[in-house]
Amino acid sequence: MTKKIFRAILLAAVSVLLASLVIILGCLYDYYRAVQEKQLQDELRLASYGVEAGGSGYLERLASPHPFQAIADYRLTWIADDGTVLFDTHVPVEELENHGDRAEVREALSNGESGGVRYSATLTQRTLYFARRLADGTVLRISISQLTVFALAMGMLQPILLTAVLAAVLSALLAHRMAKSIVAPLNRLDLDKPLENDAYEELSPLLGRIHQQHRQIEAQLRELRRKTEEFEQITENLSEGLVLLDKKSRVLSINPAARRLFHTGSACIGKEFLMVDRGHEINLAIQTALEGGYSEIRAVRDDREYQIHVSQITAEGAAAGTVLLAFDVTEQAAAERSRREFTANVSHELKTPLQSILGSAELLENGLVKQEDIPRFVGVIRTEAARLVALVEDIIHLSQLDEGVALPKEQVELLELADSAASALRERAEERRVSIAVTGQAPPVYGVRSFLYELLYNLIDNGIKYNVDGGTVEAMLSAADGGGACVRVRDTGIGIPPEYHSRVFERFFRVDKSRSKASGGTGLGLSIVKHIAQYHHAELTLHSTPGEGTEISVVFPAPETSGL
């Protein structure tokens, strides 16, 4: 800015200087010409008297070197009335042609006097002349070469240049000082407090505008900060991972859940997402969303499965970036998988008894069964049908538990339920020569009676089914440490190998399939037990040693902590 002001002042000063020079030269020239004309006319008058009195002798004396150089500059020409040149102070008369046709001569002859200006071909010189008719009818002409303005200027070039250089240097110095003094108050302006400045009055509107804009910017910043805090508060507490990316896939914002998911910190802000997660699929999904608007993928990180949605963010119709949302779907995915497996297993489990029933029925229908074998075939149909009923019942129970149906809850005495389950199974136990006993006492459990009955029934039933001849099953009730109820069902049966301890609670898992089927098992009993325990927030534990027996214990929480 200082430079600009300096240049402007200097330019103005130099322009003024040049204009002044031109005007002064013009004025000087006019003045000089007027003085010269006057002098010339006086000289002509004097010379006229001289010639009239002394003839050419006077002129010859004039032509000889003169003490005053100024007179030597004049050219005097004496012309006869027929135009013949009688005398010339500068050129020998023989060399001069007849001047009778010269305008000034003709005019002087007719009017007595004439005068004018004649330019040379180059226009750098002009000739000023006056002519006068003398008493004898001859004409005396005086002329002088006069320089034009340009020639005059050229003649004065040296002093002009000197003056110009001096003026330019002075102007430069002044311009420099002025520029600095103009700019100094501007440099001192405190734009943080625009209204407190009093540099130039002309700046007041500008400073007022700056002050207004400051206030607007501050208000906008406050609003922006508020929105950012609001956004951060929302995203901080989000359990889903949220990442905002710009159109070059650089991280703009990443919430704590996403930081945990991608094992990164806030240092990743501003970096490319590729630096946060190198996964090809996820980076491809971001690119696809950026170009196409939306994409989603499933990705596994740290043994957990995530559903990742990437959506394009647009601003003024163009893609401005993407937002990435990651949902933890591990449980959901596992549930989907087990549902698929369950469906496949159910179909298989239902098909087997149905095929058996169908086969036996067809044989019977076509009369292909001997009379004495009919009861056996009918028995098969009955057993398989019973298995189907048991299977369907178990599936219904499981689906009820899966859906978490809200059944009426009440105070349930486990002893009463254990007794009635034992009674219902006593006949079957006797068939297998297994004895059942229910011992101890337990505090009441607040729960669903039918579910709790089924839990005890299944555990005692398994104790019988997987027992040995002369074995025992004991349902032992007691108070748990926390004040809840505890039930342990212990048998002296075949036991479960350690590698299957966790698997026996899976749906349709059986250690020995043929034994399970032979004893009417569906493979769902322990799975139902596990769900019922979960439904009542009870803890389920299995202890088993092959060849020695099995003990499964269920510990119910005290009623006030059970949450039921």
> Whole-number minimum distance, CB 517 to ligand ADP, in Å?
8
Pick between residue 185 and residue 497 the one whose CB is nearest to ligand ADP: 497
Q: State the Cα angle at 500 between 498 and 506, rounded to 5°.
A: 150
Between CA 510 and CA 521 the distance in angstroms is: 9
Q: Which two tokens stand for residue 369?
A: 């069964």
Between CA 528 and CA 393 the distance in angstroms is: 11
The residue assigned the tokens 């004439």 is 114
Pick between residue 125 and residue 383 the one whose CB is nearest to ligand ADP: 383
516 binds ligand ADP (CB under 6 A): yes
Choose among 136, 77, 75: nearest CA to 102. Answer: 77
Among 388, 525, 532, 535, binds ligand ADP (CB under 6 A): 525
Question: Which of 250-258, 289-297, 440-448, 511-519 is the region at the interface with ligand ADP (rule: CB under 6 A)?
Answer: 511-519
Pick between residue 62 and residue 526 the one whose CB is nearest to ligand ADP: 526
510 binds ligand ADP (CB under 6 A): yes
Pick between residue 89 and residue 458 the one whose CB is nearest to ligand ADP: 458
Question: Which of 67-75, 164-172, 205-213, 509-517 is the region at the interface with ligand ADP (rule: CB under 6 A)?
Answer: 509-517
Among 326, 504, 538, 554, binds ligand ADP (CB under 6 A): 504
Which residues face 76 on adjacent strands? 142
Among 114, 143, 264, 550, binds ligand ADP (CB under 6 A): 550
Compose the 354-383 pattern: x for residues touching ligand ADP by CB under 6 A, - for all others. Answer: ------------------------------
- Tell me which residues in 466-485 interact with ligand ADP (CB under 6 A): 466
Tell how far CA 377 is from the center of its chain: 77
Between CA 554 and CA 486 the distance in angstroms is: 6
Contact assessment for residue 217 and residue 208, using Cβ atoms and an 8 Å cutoff: no
Contact assessment for residue 556 and residue 480, using Cβ atoms and an 8 Å cutoff: yes
Between CA 99 and CA 78 the distance in angstroms is: 10
H or E stretch covering 174: helix 157-187
Between CA 485 and CA 221 the distance in angstroms is: 61
Q: Which two tokens stand for residue 56?
A: 């050419």
* DSSP per-residue letters across 404-466: T-----EEE-HHHHHHHHHHHHHHHHHHTT-EEEEEE----EEE-HHHHHHHHHHHHHHHHHT
Between CA 423 and CA 180 the distance in angstroms is: 112
> Whole-number minimum distance, CB 554 to ligand ADP, in Å?
14
Among 436, 477, 486, 526, binds ligand ADP (CB under 6 A): 526
φ/ψ bin of 297: left (φ > 0), alpha (ψ from -120 to 50), beta (otherwise) = beta
> Whole-number minimum distance, CB 460 to ligand ADP, in Å?
9
Pick between residue 255 and residue 522 the one whose CB is nearest to ligand ADP: 522
> Whole-number minimum distance, CB 291 to ligand ADP, in Å?
52
Among 447, 521, 536, 556, binds ligand ADP (CB under 6 A): 521
Question: Which of 158-166, 311-319, 372-380, 519-527 is the region at the interface with ligand ADP (rule: CB under 6 A)?
Answer: 519-527
Pick between residue 261 and residue 395 the one whose CB is nearest to ligand ADP: 395
Question: Which of 19-27, 73-81, 271-279, 506-514 is the region at the interface with ligand ADP (rule: CB under 6 A)?
Answer: 506-514
H or E stretch covering 79: strand 75-79
Question: Which of 107-115, 206-214, 397-405, 517-525 is the region at the interface with ligand ADP (rule: CB under 6 A)?
Answer: 517-525
511 binds ligand ADP (CB under 6 A): yes
Contact assessment for residue 374 and residue 364, using Cβ atoms and an 8 Å cutoff: yes
Q: How many residues bind ligand ADP (CB under 6 A)?
A: 23
Among 142, 493, 531, 536, binds ligand ADP (CB under 6 A): 493
> Whole-number minimum distance, CB 414 to ligand ADP, in Å?
19
Question: Which of 33-41, 68-76, 84-92, 459-467 is the region at the interface with ligand ADP (rule: CB under 6 A)?
Answer: 459-467
494 binds ligand ADP (CB under 6 A): yes
> Whole-number minimum distance, CB 480 to ligand ADP, in Å?
21
Between CA 231 and CA 238 the distance in angstroms is: 11
> Whole-number minimum distance, CB 261 to ligand ADP, in Å?
37
Compose the 288-317 pattern: x for residues touching ligand ADP by CB under 6 A, - for all others. Answer: ------------------------------
* Residues 125-131: contacts with CB under 8 Å, at least 24 apart: 125/151, 128/33, 128/36, 128/37, 128/40, 129/104, 130/37, 130/40, 130/41, 130/44, 130/104, 131/44, 131/104, 131/105, 131/107
Pick between residue 120 and residue 534 the one whose CB is nearest to ligand ADP: 534
End-to-end CA, the chain: 81
Compose the 144-183 pattern: x for residues touching ligand ADP by CB under 6 A, - for all others. Answer: ----------------------------------------
Between CA 45 and CA 163 the distance in angstroms is: 40
Choose among 429, 412, 413, 421: nearest CA to 455. Answer: 421
> Whole-number minimum distance, CB 493 to ligand ADP, in Å?
5
Between CA 523 and CA 466 the distance in angstroms is: 13
The DSSP bridge pattern shows strands 435-440 and 472-479 to be: parallel
512 binds ligand ADP (CB under 6 A): yes
463 binds ligand ADP (CB under 6 A): yes
Question: Which of 106-114, 310-318, 335-343, 463-471 is the region at the interface with ligand ADP (rule: CB under 6 A)?
Answer: 463-471
Which residues face 314 on adjacent strands? 319
Pick between residue 277 and residue 474 the one whose CB is nearest to ligand ADP: 474
Give the helix ranges, DSSP H, for 296-413.
Answer: 330-365, 374-403
Residues at the contact surface with ligand ADP, assessed by CB under 6 A: 462-463, 465-466, 491, 493-496, 504, 509-512, 516, 521-527, 550
